Amino acid sequence: MSQMRPGMMPKPSEHAKAAFSKLVPDEPAVTMRPMFGNLAAFVNGNMFSGLFGEDVFVRLPDDQAAPIRKQGGRDFEPMPGHAMKGYVMAPTNWSAKPAATKTWIASALAFTRAMPPKAAKAKKAASKKK
């Protein structure tokens, strides 16, 4: 793996994007969009899973993240020393274990769906009273 310069975000391969996209539930509430030059999945405006280079991360409570860590998962640190609280990286062999990874992503979706929707960024008054 090539050494990254500080501040550089890893980029996923087309293979990783395709594998990840297949594991994210295909439902109307779920949206996929670029994040940090990678690909992330959102529900109600809240990110629940994504790619970071070739790796997958999921948003889960600690009790559900602990088993993932035991299997080789780790804290999600987009920048060294800056872990994103509530997110865990799946083990690096996630694409070889699609069933387990799909379960983690589905759990992350269920957990994140229960959160309050993220308010859309304020736009200029869209509704004009007449």
Extents of the domains making up the chain: 14-111
Quickly list DSSP for 16-76.
HHHHHHHHS---TTEEEEEETTEEEEEETTEEEEEEETTEEEEE--HHHHHHHHHTT-EE-
| Whole-prediction pTM | 0.85
Write down the pLDDT at residue 121.
64
- CATH number at 14-111: 3.90.1150
pLDDT tens, residue by residue, 32-70 = 999 878 999 999 999 999 999 999 999 999 999 999 999
